[in-house]
Chain A
Amino acid sequence: MRKSVNLGFAILGIVWLGFAFWLTTLVPMRDDARDWFGSLNPGGWMAWTFPSALFFTIIAGLLILFTYLAIRFPETPRKGVLGITTTRGDRLFISLLGSAFICLIWLGAIGTPVWGGLACAIIYAAAVFRWV
């Protein structure tokens, strides 16, 4: 059982990596350089760009990772500083939702680029996983 789960998720991980690599090959060229913000499928369905595709790929990767962790290392929900019972998945959701708001606040108060906001969001996520 454990072996098959490990194997299944290993295959899934490889597929995920392959997908991420495939995305980078789709990035269009402009003036002999990769145009990272160009359209991945010009005139096509859903108007994909590399950053937005990468965003969803990372979210999907996180979901796969947390599914694996939940199956492989089952946990008991715990009560943190907020006084609510959370599992790892709940903490991931709280982290992602909070991160979105942190980046929006950064964007509103300071403006682009939002790397600083992203850094704050990562610190926030770490705090959520440690204490919530």
Chain B
Amino acid sequence: MEKPLNNRAWFLVLPVLALVAFSAVLPLMTVVNYSVQDTFGNNQFFWAGLEWFQDTIHSDRVRAALGRQILFSAIILAIEIPLGIFVALNMPKKGAWASFCLVTMALPLLIPWNVVGTIWQVFGRVDIGLLGYTLTKLGIDYNYVNDALDAWITVVVMDVWHWTSLVALLCYAGLQSIPDAYYQAAKIDQASRWKVFRYIELPKMQGVLLIAVLLRFMDSFMIYTEPFVVTGGGPGNATTFLSIDLVKMAVGQFDLGPAAAFSLIYFLMILLISFVFYTVMTKEGETL
């Protein structure tokens, strides 16, 4: 039997196409145009070729920001993923207590980024902040405004506070989908707690964990608002991550050409990483 072919439904995609064109494709094209030109304002542009790309590749400033960014994302993943799994494993499975935990866990996720930044900015202040004041009174020399390490710790802890619940909730959903029969079988075999985790819970959580890693990686790789509000990229350049550096270059210094080249390279990195993650995830789906 021949399948009826009707591709007219594709026209329904047109509104989305128009929307994406105006919100993403045209701005991206403009960035490409800017990246090969130089401007001194007044909407006058002069051809610069690939000079800005070359500058960006050889720029110590961009490399340093990229290094900090990778370090930050690595720390975030190393803390949030195991912590999220640990929290999910210890959450009650059913009852009113479970609902209470779920709602409490979801709360940090509902807070807008800049509010989270403001909360931690005040929280860490030595003169009025609860955290900063207490630490100082305890005799610990803590000041995120002057000390690079303190600034890093603050930014990392803030991100962990904000986003670990996401990982925990995803893992919790994964754990809930495991039928009781698996645990009963493990009990009959006298499996230890570790073996139950290693051979039942972890494999069953694989799908959601991949999503969690992808989400957390992308989000931390593109982080802007929270560290910008708390430290402003300082002290010095200690917490200047890629997007903070990019905004400084584009908006602060109005170096449109270099900033455009920088953002295109940044975009290509994100595209590559997303593609790899997407491929791995769909491959997992195929084999399951």
Residues of A within 8 A of B (CB): 1, 37-39, 42-44, 46-49, 51-52, 55-56, 71, 83-85, 93-94, 97, 100-101, 104, 107-108, 111-112, 114
Q: Given that A43-B43, A56-B29, A97-B272 are known contacts, is A49 also in contact with B36, CB under 8 Å in the complex? A: yes
The smallest C-beta distance from B28 to any residue of chain A, in angstroms, reads 10
Not counting A94-B275, A104-B57, a sample of 5 additional A-B residue pairs whose C-beta atoms are within 8 angstroms of each other reads A39-B45, A46-B30, A46-B33, A56-B32, A114-B50
C-alpha spacing A105/B29, complex, angstroms: 22
Cross-chain pair count, CB within 8 angstroms: 64
Per CB-CB distance, the 9 closest pairs between chain A and chain B, nearest first, are A37-B47, A108-B57, A47-B45, A46-B30, A47-B33, A52-B33, A43-B43, A84-B279, A52-B32
Chain A residues lying within 8 Å of B265, measured Cβ to Cβ, are: 104
| B34: A residues at CB distance < 8 A | 47
CB–CB A97/B275 < 8 A = yes
> How far is it, in angstroms, between the C-alpha of A83 and the C-alpha of B284 when the chains are bound?
12
Q: Which residues of B contact A114 (CB under 8 A)?
A: 50
Cα A100 to Cα B47 in complex, Å, equals 20
Once bound together, how far apart are the Cα atoms of A112 and B47, in whole Å?
15
Which positions in B face A, CB cutoff 8 Å?
5, 7, 26, 29-30, 32-34, 36-37, 39, 43-45, 47, 49-50, 53-54, 57-58, 265, 268, 271-272, 275, 279, 283, 286
Chain A residues, Cβ within 8 Å of B268:
97, 100-101, 104
B283 touches A84 (CB 8 A): yes
Is chain B's interface secondary structure helix, strand, loop, or mixed overall?
A: helix
User: Across the interface, do B57 and A107 meet the contact criterion of CB distance under 8 Å?
Assistant: yes
Please name 24 pairs of A and B residues whose Cβ atoms are closer than 8 Å in the assembled complex, sorted by A.
A37-B47, A37-B49, A42-B44, A46-B29, A47-B34, A47-B43, A49-B47, A52-B29, A52-B32, A52-B33, A52-B36, A55-B32, A71-B7, A97-B268, A97-B271, A97-B275, A101-B268, A104-B53, A104-B57, A107-B50, A107-B54, A107-B57, A108-B57, A112-B49
Contacts of B275 in A (CB 8 A): 93-94, 97
Contact A47 B53, CB 8 Å, known A38-B47, A104-B268: no
Q: A49 is contacted by which of B37, B43, B283 (Cβ under 8 Å)?
A: B37
- B29 contact set on A, CB distance < 8 A: 46, 52, 56
Do A47 and B30 touch across chains, with their CB atoms under 8 A apart? yes
Cα A97 to Cα B269 in complex, Å, equals 10
Q: Is the CB of A108 within 8 A of B58?
A: yes
B272 contacts across to A, CB distance below 8 A? 97, 101
Please give the distance in Å from B31's CB to the nearest CB on chain A: 10
Please name the residue on chain A nearest to B39 by beta carbon. Answer: A47
CB-based contact A46/B26 at 8 Å: yes
Closest partner residue, chain A, to B51 (CB atom):
A112
Closest residue on chain A to residue B269 by CB atoms: A101
Select one of A49, A51, A85 contacting B286, CB under 8 A. Answer: A85
Contacts of A47 in B (CB 8 A): 30, 33-34, 37, 39, 43, 45
CB-CB under 8 A from A52, the residues of chain B are 29, 32-33, 36
Kindly report which residue of chain A lies nearest to residue B265, judged by CB atoms: A104
CB-based nearest A residue for B286: A85
> Given A38-B47, A39-B45, A101-B268, is A51 in contact with B53 using a C-beta cutoff of 8 Å?
no
A24 and B54 CA atoms in complex are apart in Å by: 27
CA distance A55 to B29 in the complex (A): 10
Residues of B within 8 A of A112 (CB): 49-50, 54
Say yes or no: B30 contacts A108, CB within 8 Å: no
Q: Could you tell me the distance between the alpha carbons of A83 and B279 in the complex, rounded to whole angstroms?
A: 10
Least CB separation from A71: chain B residue: B7
- Cross-chain contact of B33 among A49, A93, A94, A111 (Cβ < 8 A): A49
